[in-house]
């Protein structure tokens, strides 16, 4: 495995909690990197609490589950805590080692230390079949793992330091475990904050639009396989899961890791999966592991829930919107920023290098948990239900419902000479496109950030010759687009199948072309159908029975949504829609060499509808 490969990146980044002991806001972590001011809307009105304690101690335990399997647990507490003092707990359940040991030293979680200094017990757990915990796993987010969360909650409230209140949070996998904790309906769980976590793993990361995200599937599978073997290779930083303190800690860790040899690997489980209802080893269906399938159980208790997502974190911004559209929980809130996976880097159209945000998520989590677990008036309960960041003007916006008021679909039809035209009757015709395998978005795209890297897209003007492009005239006023654009294509393909990738781009007056959003669809999956939850875009079931099979030569009418965004296109810029059949080697099923015929002319043929309004 070569250094810098996606596999090596996965191993480095899946170390997860192997971070420095000193918490820092993102803008201070890399002094040489540029910083964008996306400071919180409450800046100057609310001040996060200072630390009550300067030092923190970490204790480790094995906690037995209802079936006797022992789970490794770390607890961070203020050092010197008065024995009569009781604290609320914040729980993280991770698949990526609660702590990594290297050269005899165990890493400490900066977030856990920061919260413990402010009067919380912070509990981090190696979920069953991972890290130093015993047991094995036949799937991710399995029913047994979810029930373990209830056992851990029972253990927490029985501790002498517990005040009986529990919150849960985490990024990515750990965010999903926080949400699934609610399935147990444990009375002590009073608030959760899933961060950068999906609701539909089929649609938002593994097979968006039925297009297989092969690079991620393989890299994540390799990362999990390596972690389950109990040692991170030196080229990825090195380390083993930290032991549970005690004279037999190393021996118990060895026994636990031996249990993990029975784990079913995530990539192996998806080797043949293409449709939502396909099953892997043990008959497990990929869709059944997503939280949308548990929505009624998750919402039943109306537990205060603060979901934190990003427009540019794989497809999870879409997941955040779909979650709140389908939730019956009146206490659910949503925050959508303009960051990478994890919120450590900022992205907006025109950002071509690593850039830090001013916004610090830990402070926002403190505002939420202080309100819900400590009954401190932080202003959180008076805030809007949804906050979202609009790039181009760099503003936080507020709305009580989605979509926000004031937007209307602006129809731009494909026209001759590569134009997007508001007059859909002006020109009719056909555009031919020879599908190429070499278009690409680079190695720091929204799909790469699933491994926690930064998001930035280079100037894409050199890609235009590889794509089928349609561009508006220069805008005579700034235009805000917020929500999900909808692409309508009438086309044929000479290939039996293939992928359609539609890019929304901003063309600046100097000719630079910057990525704004994209949408994907597998041609054989393009039959209109119902998704298993409410959305604001045309649906496709992605069920095997609804496959169109061989589509070669068939005239297809394809409707699909692009990933959501909120961006103001500047006056003098143009809006471009570009079509491709490939993004390098990222997605499986690229039909290089195929020829498309795209039909235009008339409002019923090819066009893009933008949820837009004029902007000042």
Rg (CA), the chain: 24
Annotated catalytic, 391?
Answer: no
Per annotation, catalytic residue among 99, 133, 151, 341: 341
Chain center to CA of 295 = 18
- H-only helix segments in 108-186: 110-116, 143-157, 173-180
Q: Residue 412 belongs to what H/E stretch?
A: strand 408-415
Rounded to whole angstroms, the Cα distance separating 372 from 79 reads 24
Between CA 41 and CA 359 the distance in angstroms is 10
Strand partners, 279: 285
Catalytic residue among 27, 60, 172, 517: 172
- Determine the Cα–Cα distance for residues 463 and 465; give it in Å rounded to an integer: 6
Which residue among 228, 299, 313, 583 is the active-site one?
Answer: 313
Estimate the crossing angle of helix 6-13 against helix 214-228, to 10 degrees.
Answer: 50
Nearest to 311 by CA among 345, 283, 338, 284: 338
Cis-peptide, bond into residue 403, ω within 30° of zero: yes
Residue 377, SS3 per DSSP: coil
Residue 241 to residue 366: CA distance in whole angstroms? 28
Structure tokens given for 27: 């803008």
The set of long-range contacts for 243-249, using a CB threshold of 8 Å and a minimum separation of 24, is: 243/60, 243/101, 243/106, 243/132, 244/60, 244/61, 244/62, 244/72, 244/73, 244/132, 245/59, 245/60
The C-alpha atoms of residue 190 and residue 171 are separated, in whole angstroms, by 19
Residues with Cβ within 8 Å of 455's Cβ and at least 6 positions away in sequence, in order, are: 312, 313, 339, 340, 345, 347, 351, 444, 445, 446, 448, 449
Phi-psi bin for 282: left (phi > 0), alpha (psi -120 to 50), beta? Answer: left
- Is residue 346 within 8 A of residue 356, CB to CB? The reply is yes
Q: Is residue 160 annotated as part of the catalytic site, yes or no?
A: no
567 is catalytic: no
Structure tokens, 478:
């700034």
Q: Which residues are catalytic?
A: 172, 313, 341
């Amino acid at each position: 495995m070569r250094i810098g490969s996606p596999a090596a990146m996965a191993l480095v980044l899946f170390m997860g909690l192997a971070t420095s002991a000193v918490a820092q806001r993102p803008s201070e972590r890399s002094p040489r990197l540029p910083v964008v001011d996306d400071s919180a809307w409450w800046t100057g009105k609310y001040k996060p609490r200072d630390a009550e304690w300067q030092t923190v101690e970490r204790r480790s335990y094995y906690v037995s589950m209802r079936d006797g399997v022992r789970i490794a647990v770390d607890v961070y507490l203020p050092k010197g805590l008065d024995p009569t003092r009781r604290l609320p707990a914040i729980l993280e359940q991770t698949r990526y080692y609660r702590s990594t040991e290297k050269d005899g030293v165990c890493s400490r979680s900066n977030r856990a230390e920061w919260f413990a200094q402010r009067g919380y017990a912070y509990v981090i757990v190696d979920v069953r079949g991972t890290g130093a915990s015993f047991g094995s796993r036949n799937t991710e987010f399995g029913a047994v793992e979810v029930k373990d969360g209830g056992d851990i909650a029972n253990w927490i409230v029985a501790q002498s330091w517990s005040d009986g209140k529990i919150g849960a949070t985490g990024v990515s996998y750990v965010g999903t475990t926080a949400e699934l904790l609610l399935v147990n309906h444990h009375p002590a769980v009073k608030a959760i904050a899933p961060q950068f976590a999906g609701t539909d793993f089929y649609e938002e990361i593994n097979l968006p639009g039925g297009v297989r995200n092969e690079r991620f599937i393989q890299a994540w599978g390799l990362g999990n396989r390596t972690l389950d073997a109990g040692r991170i290779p030196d080229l990825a930083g090195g380390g083993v899961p930290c032991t549970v303190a005690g004279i037999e800690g190393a021996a118990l860790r060895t026994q636990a890791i031996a249990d993990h040899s029975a784990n079913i690997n995530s990539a192996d489980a998806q080797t043949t999966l293409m449709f939502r209802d396909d099953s892997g080893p043990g008959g497990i269906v990929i869709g059944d592991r997503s939280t949308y399938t548990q929505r009624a159980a998750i919402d039943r208790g109306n537990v205060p829930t603060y979901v934190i997502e990003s427009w540019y974190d794989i497809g999870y911004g879409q997941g955040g919107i779909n979650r709140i559209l389908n939730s019956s929980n009146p206490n659910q809130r949503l925050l959508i920023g303009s960051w990478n996976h994890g919120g450590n880097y900022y992205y907006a159209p025109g950002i071509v290098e690593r850039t830090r945000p001013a916004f610090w998520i830990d402070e926002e989590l403190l505002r939420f948990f202080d309100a819900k677990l400590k009954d401190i008036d932080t202003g959180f309960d008076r805030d809007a239900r949804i906050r979202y960041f609009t790039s181009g003007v760099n503003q936080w916006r507020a709305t009580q419902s989605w979509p926000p008021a004031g937007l209307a679909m602006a129809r731009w039809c494909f026209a001759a000479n590569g134009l997007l035209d508001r007059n859909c009757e002006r020109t009719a015709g056909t555009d031919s496109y020879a599908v190429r395998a070499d278009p690409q978005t680079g190695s720091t795209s929204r799909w790469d950030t699933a491994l926690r890297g930064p998001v930035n897209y280079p100037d894409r003007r050199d890609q235009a010759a590889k794509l089928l492009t349609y561009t508006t005239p220069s805008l005579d006023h700034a235009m805000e687009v917020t929500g999900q654009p909808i692409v309508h294509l009438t086309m044929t393909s000479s290939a039996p199948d293939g992928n359609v990738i539609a890019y929304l781009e901003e063309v600046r007056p100097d000719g630079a072309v910057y990525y704004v959003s994209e949408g994907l669809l597998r041609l054989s999956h393009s039959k209109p159908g119902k998704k298993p939850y409410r959305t604001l875009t045309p649906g496709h079931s992605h069920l095997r029975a609804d496959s169109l099979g061989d589509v070669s030569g068939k005239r297809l009418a394809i409707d699909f949504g692009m990933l959501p965004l909120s961006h103001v296109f500047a006056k003098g810029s143009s809006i471009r829609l570009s079509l491709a059949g490939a993004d390098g080697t990222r997605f499986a099923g690229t039909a290089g060499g195929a020829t498309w015929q795209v039909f235009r002319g008339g409002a019923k043929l090819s066009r893009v509808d933008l949820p837009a309004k004029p902007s000042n």
